[in-house]
Structures are given as structure tokens and as C-alpha cells.
Structure 1
Amino acid sequence: MTVAPIVPRSRSHRVRDAVGRRPVLLLVALGLACAVVAWLRLPATAHDTFWAEDGRTFVSSAALGGPSVLLQPYAGYLHTIPRLVATVVVLLPVSWWALATTAAACAIAGGLAVVVFVCARELVPWLPARIFVAGLTVLAPLVPREVLGNLANLHSLLLWTLFWIALSRPRTTRAAVVLSAVALLGALTEIQAVFLAPLLLVRTRDRRVWIVRAGLIAGMVAQLVVTFAWPRAENTNPAVDPLSIAYGYLINAVLPLAVPQSQLGHVLAATGPAVGLLVLAVVLGTAVYVFLHGTRGQRLLVAAALTGSVLLYVVSVATNPNAFYDYAGLTPTQLDSVWLTRYGVVPSMLLALVPAVAASIAYGRRRLRRGSGQWPAWSVLAAAGLCAALIIAQLGPQWTRRSDGPAWQPQLASAAEQCRRDDEVKFVNLRETIGWKVTVPCRYLDDGTTEDSR
């Protein structure tokens, strides 16, 4: 009788076994880590500063109107999650409102990263690649500028998450119900979820998949009803020419994958579109590898990501034209201080997932061929590693459009004094970003909650 030798398990197998035994711990750790990263990528002043609709529309409306504003459309569609968060925020002391809004948005971003991680399990099986894909929720290079840590543009992160939900195949009915609820809330916040409709035509025979899609479809239908009943104001600016849209895509979606925001204008002024085209070529090269060696689901994922990346940017700019999107007419001097738009954030994330998917495939194939036959897999792993390294290198705090305030707490003492001086004053207006005002009822300022701000 022969005894088979005991072969020590590799480190990767030990990690995978540990994850398999305690998956909940991994999900909690991932969510907390991504929430903390989201918070740390924002400068300190931005934490205590309302961005755009956060103060003027969501928190102010919750303070003035109460729960009834949850179903109130804004700019042509519903914003359910921001309205829900604002309703909770106004229950806190007024001095905490801006900080609590930022913290809640960062926490939600961490939760969405967990949803992406779960949904990507089948399509990105290699754990490091899947963690990176989930991390893109908070790691995307341009995401701190206008999207991270606020409610106004949280819908962009929800659209990224809904993309993964639409392609997911839950393993249990309980998971399907949870994903359906997330999909419903997400679609009730982001009208661009309608662009995911073509993805609903695949995997049509899986019952659990349709449980998930029921929530997504319900949210889409509600948004379409709202936008037809209460359409947003028409943009009357001249249309952006196609060449500027194409150049803008390179600038806002492609180039940030390799060049930090602070250096992007200098690189453009020196090289024009050359660096952007090089980065795009690397991404497309890894996409070809997926199409040659990936599963049917992985090929669909990459095809949808590439198509969606272009579609989302083009539609966003075409329906919201403005003079600062006329990139093709800019001189090198003007390119040095080029305008960067949040419309490139989700398209950039969709591009960044492609090398990660290719790396997951290459990692699984690297032992299938010997000698010189291994070079395609190792080349893809190297390219994906470089892409990931360039993104992670931009992890630190970034400049945001609220980096310079105005901070919320320093304004509260004078606002409370204004309410006390004049009994006729029932509301005061506090400053926030882009010249907007936040209307706060005096009753919130007269209950002693502003002592820490004085």
C-alpha cells in the first residue's frame, strides 16, 4: 500500500480557503476599507463642505418639508437615496449636517464596492483582480473631484454598481432578493439605468436573475414615468462638435487612468492626444485577449463595458452641451488648464475593468502552455499590473471642487445670532459651493446645537 505524499498548499490556495470559510468577514473588511479610502481621498475642508444639491436641494428640502420630499423629482428624475440620507441627516445636530452627509456618502460607496465584489464573482474569479474591480468604486482617478463623498453625484457610483448587478447571477434566492432591493433603490436614484436595458436580454431563463431584474425594471419604469411627467429644463447651448466629444473622451475617460489630475493638463499641452491614445491601445489590447480566451460571459462583460463607456460619455455631453466641452478648439496653453468633467468618471471605470478581467483570465491560463507559449498570459498580467499600479498611485487626497469650502460649521454661530436678533426671521441662508445657498430653519439653530461652532 502506497501513501500519497502530502503536498503543501500554496499561499494563494490558503488565502482562497480562508476567504471561503469566512466570506462575511472579507465583505465587511472590504466595505470598511473602501469607505475609509473614500473619506481619506477627500481633503479635510471638503468633509465639512456641502457640494451643490447636497445642501441646497436635499438637506434643505428635508429640513423644510419633512418626509414628503422623498418622492419629489428634481431635474427630471427621482433621487431616492440622497433624499433618504438627507431625511436622516437633519435629525442630527445642525453642526453635523455637512460632515454627516459626506460620511454617509463614503459609507454608501463602501457598501457599493461590496455589491460589485459579490456580483463580479463569476466573471472575475481571480481574487486580487476582483478586489481591484470592486475597489474602483472609490479608486477611480477622477472620482474625488465631484463624485466621491457627496449625495449629488452618488448616482454615478450607483450606475457603476447597477452595471454589475445587471450582469450578475446570484447563487441563492436570498442574495437575489437583496440585489433586487439594491437595484430598485439604485434605479430610483439614477435614470441612466435605462441604458442597461439591453443587458436584460441575456440569461433570460434563470429565475434568480429575474428576481434581481424585477427591482431594476421597476426602478427604470418609475424614472421614465417621472421624466415624462416632470421633464428637466431644455439645454439651449450650442451642440458640441463630434471631434471635441472624441477628444473629450480621451481627456476625461482614458487619460486619467495613467496621468494624475494635477499633471493631466501639462501632459495634454505637451503631447496632445498621444498619451491618451497609447493608454486606450493598452486597454483595447487586453480586450482582444478577453475576446480570444474568455468565457461567453466575460466577452459580454467587456463588450458591454467598452460600448457603455463611449455611450455614457457621448450621451452625457451631447445632452448637456457647454463651451468648456469644445476640446478640439483649445490651444496648448488652454489645454494646460483643461476642464475635467464628472461625465468621464463612470466611462473611465468601465475601461479600467477590462485589463482586470483579462488578468483574471491570464492568471488561470498561465500554466496551460509551457515555454514560449506562456508569453501572451504573462504580457497581459504585466499590462494589467501596470494599469492597476498607475491607478493606485493616485490613491492619495485629491483636489475637489469643494476643497476651498465654504466650510459649514464656521458659518453657524453668525447664523444663530441672526435668528436671535430678529424674532421675525424664521430662516437663514448659509453658503455652500458654486455660489449656492442652503436654507436652514431657525429652529435648528436655536436648540444649542451650534455651541461647538462658536
Structure 2
Amino acid sequence: MESFLPDARRARMALLVLAAVGFAWLLTPRIYGPFTDHLHKEDGLIFLSGEQAGESLLTTYTGYLHVGPRLVTQTCAAAPPEAFAACVAGGSAGLRVALMVLVFAVLSPYVRRWGWALGAAGLVIFGGIGQQEVLGNVTNLRWFLDTAATMALLGSFKRLGLIILASVLLILGVLSDPLALLLAPVALWRLFALEGRAKIVPALYFPAAALHIALLNPEARGSFLPEFFVDPLINTQNMVVRSLTEAVLGETGTTAALAIAGPLAVTVLTIVTFALLYLIGFRRLHTQQKWMAALLAAAGFLFLVATVNFMDPHEIDVAHGVARASRYALIPSLMVGASLAVLLSEYPRTAWGRSVRAATVGLILVGSVADSRGDEWATRGPSWSATVEETRKACEGGAEMLTVDVTPQGVPKEWTADLNCSWVTPEAA
């Protein structure tokens, strides 16, 4: 079905308001302070340092491209140095708002009322997992771009504005994370299934994927796939809790559930609950809705499997909590949330049907609110404005480049950035 933004004025106004409020919310200080005045991990160590060293958009890091983060970095480096950290946060927020619009357009044909599509789109901004370590930085932007690439391929775009939006997000996604290369079968299917100008978006996947593959260094990351079969219980718990439980309860809610009931009980309860949700609701969907709901849920789960393939399952064992590598649950949370929106939009209008919808949506909202406090490590370091001021003073001594600390500090890994004095103090150039 063709992707579209509903013609109803209320729908478009609601989307516009959500986009404006969402963008502002993504830049709003959380309880740990103004994270927009901090430079986050690889944002400084890799991307800003690389920009200062003259690296191009096609420079690889850990074996693959990061075009989206590097594009935001290079654009923000053209602004005054004091504004760099805030600009990076703004660039990340802007891309998330663009993804929100894309999700709304893709899901609109598959739900009974546009409010369900808007709710699923709102998870991109307000979803619980998105308020944690992925907030306000470009280091973790690739998780959103993987979601964008998936949504761009699942949609059918015939209107020029949406074609441009989907094309840009698709290309950025494919050139920012090798996980997006796994979407090749989906792109091939959509290329043959769609007609006319709707073929434009999936057709653009292949040159972008070819470029990434040509520059890819697959030996840079090792696989832990054999470990998956050593302890299947741990791996099953990791998969279920990080793909399904966190999608509804968020990080904080899932942490509380694990502390109360333990990982095995949470895993079993999650499987039973989702099985009942889908068994009851799936039969009420028409064929295309069934395909979309199934594809979204499957995409979220498979992305998680591909992601944890590069991590020792014991290191991310949910028995020790889900805060470690919480970013891994982001794609599943968005995809499963979108799948639930399609499913619940057709649930019976009976008392029990309304109760199921209310309970599911209520848990997601509570989880999102609980996680909206942000990430405490996002401000555990020097403020960027102070760093720039101190660097300028140090550059007066005649240095050409200085290494400065970035956020977070007080952790085992040293997070720094290399700054050119000619950038920090342009008049010295």
C-alpha cells in the first residue's frame, strides 16, 4: 500500500506539533544536567578528531563507514567551536524527527486510525530506550538510521517529498552501519514488487550497499556466534528481554522486573504475553496488515541477533541488568512498537479489547516516562563550553593541536578529542 501523510488537517497538525515538541524535547536537559554541553565518547574521540585531521565522509572506523555521524560532525564543525556540541545534539535530534515522519507515513495505510501510526512514530522521539545512552549524540545515531533504512524499504513512496525523505534516510542508513547490508533481500523484493516511481527508493539501496561493501573490512570485528550454543538459556533470555520486554517496559521498567522476578520468569512471562497478544489480534488483521506486523517484529528481532553476534553473550547477560549495551534494544523497541501499533489498531472494541490496548499502551508510556531522566554518564565529564575556553587559552602558548577530555570521565576507557588551535582560535590561523 502507498505510504502517505493523511490528508486530514488534524493529522497533519498533530504531526507538526509532535515534530516541534519532539525536537525541543530531544534537546531538553534531563535530571543529570544539560547533556547538549557535553561531547559524547566517539563524537569527540573519533568523529571530531577525524574531522580535525581531515578525514573524509568515507573514512572507515572499526571496519565500516559512518557517513551519518561524520556528515553531522563536518557540518557542525563549520559553526563556531562553542556551538559544536549543541549542534551535534541538534543534528541528531533533526534526523530522529525525520525518521518519525517516515514511520508515520509508512504505517498510516496499515492502521485503522492515524493516531496509532502517530503513536508508533512518537516512539522514535519519546520511547524509553531512546532516552538513555543514544540521546543527543551521533555515536549511536546508526541505530536510528538502521531503522530508517528498514522503514524506507518497507514503504511504498510515490509522492516526491516522501521519496526524497525516504531516499536520504535510506542512503544514510546503508552508509552508516553494515547491519543495513542485511536488508539486501528486502530491497530486492521491494524493487520487483513495487511499480513506477515507487521503485526509486529500493533501487537506490544497491549502489549505496555496493559502495559500503567495497570499503568494508569484515575482519575488524570478531563473531561470538559459537557462544550462542554454549549456554542457550542465557542467549534466549538476552534475546527475549532485549527485544520484547524492553520494547514495552523500557530500560528502567525492565530492570525493575528483572530485580523482582528474575530473568527466567521475565522471559517466560514475556513470551506468553506476546504470544497471546499476537494470537488474539493477528486474525483480525487483513493480509497486508499481517505482513507488515510480522515483518516489523521480525526485523527488530533479527537486527538484535545480528548485533549481539559481536558481543560475548555473558557480557550482556540480562541477569546482570540491561543497562550495559542498552542501545542494542533500540531497534527492536522501535520495530516491535510499530508492530504492536498495527496489531492493536484492529483489536476488538469490546471491554476486554480496550483493556488490553490500554494496558499495553500504558506500560509503554510508563516505561518511557521512567527512562526520560536520561543517562547519568552523558554529563560525567567537562562541559564543552569550558573545554573550548580552556583550549583557547592553552593555544596562546603557540601549540598547534591539543588533546582534551570529553564525556564521560571516570571510566576505564580514556575519552579524548584532538583539536586544532586554528579551529578553536580562528584568528590564530
What band does the TM-score fall into relative to the shorter chain?
0.7 to 0.9
Code of the aligned partner of 1:108: L
Q: How does 1:346-361 map to 2 (within 5 A)?
A: 346-361=331-346
Change in CA separation of 1:85 and 1:127 when aligned onto 2, cut-off 3 Å: same
SS in 2 for 1:325: coil
Bigger drift between 339-348 and 38-47 goes to 38-47
Bigger drift between 88-97 and 251-260 goes to 251-260
Q: State whether structure 2 residue 43 is matched by structure 1 residue 54.
A: yes
Q: Aligned match of 2:180 in 179, 193, 200?
A: 193
For the Cα contact (< 8 Å) 2:381–2:405, is it kept in 1?
no
Code of the aligned partner of 1:285: L
Change in CA separation of 1:126 and 1:18 when aligned onto 2, cut-off 3 Å: closer
Number of residue equivalences = 412
TM-superposed CA distance for 1:41, in Å, is: 6.9
Q: State whether structure 2 residue 252 is matched by structure 1 residue 267.
A: no
Report what 2:414 is aligned to.
435
For the Cα contact (< 8 Å) 1:40–1:396, is it kept in 2?
no
TM-superposed CA distance for 1:269, in Å, is: 2.9
Relative to the length of structure 1, the TM-score reads 0.81
Change in CA separation of 1:282 and 1:76 when aligned onto 2, cut-off 3 Å: same
Counterpart Cα distance in 2 of 1:20 and 1:114: 15
Q: Aligned match of 2:275 in 280, 284, 292?
A: 284
Counterpart Cα distance in 1 of 2:271 and 2:382: 38
Counterpart Cα distance in 1 of 2:33 and 2:205: 36
Code of the aligned partner of 2:401: F
For the Cα contact (< 8 Å) 1:283–1:355, is it kept in 2?
no
TM-superposed CA distance for 1:106, in Å, is: 1.2
Report what 1:298 is aligned to.
289
TM-superposed CA distance for 1:114, in Å, is: 1.0
Q: Aligned match of 2:149 in 158, 162, 176?
A: 162
For the Cα contact (< 8 Å) 1:145–1:401, is it kept in 2?
no
Q: Aligned match of 1:75 in 55, 62, 75?
A: 62
Q: Aligned match of 1:248 in 216, 235, 238?
A: 238
Q: How does 1:277-426 map to 2 (within 5 A)?
A: 277-321=268-312, 323-327=314-318, 330=319, 335=320, 339-362=324-347, 366=349, 374=350, 377-394=353-370, 396-421=372-397, 423=398, 425-426=399-400
Q: Aligned match of 1:208 in 179, 187, 197?
A: 197
SS in 1 for 2:143: helix
Q: How does 1:35-184 map to 2 (within 5 A)?
A: 35-40=23-28, 42=30, 43-65=32-54, 69-173=56-160, 175-184=162-171
Aligned alpha-carbon RMSD (Å): 2.9
Structure with the greater alpha carbon radius of gyration: 1
Q: Deviations over 1:411-432 (max 9, x none)?
A: 23332222212x2x21001111
Change in CA separation of 1:262 and 1:98 when aligned onto 2, cut-off 3 Å: same
Q: Deviations over 1:318-359 (max 9, x none)?
A: 2232652244xx5xxxx3686353111111222222321122
Q: Which runs of 5+ in 1 are unaligned?
A: 1-16, 367-373, 450-454
TM-superposed CA distance for 1:211, in Å, is: 1.0
Bigger drift between 97-106 and 258-267 goes to 258-267
Code of the aligned partner of 1:40: T
Bigger drift between 278-287 and 297-306 goes to 278-287
Code of the aligned partner of 2:423: Y
Change in CA separation of 1:360 and 1:87 when aligned onto 2, cut-off 3 Å: same
Relative to the length of structure 2, the TM-score reads 0.85
Report what 1:6 is aligned to.
none
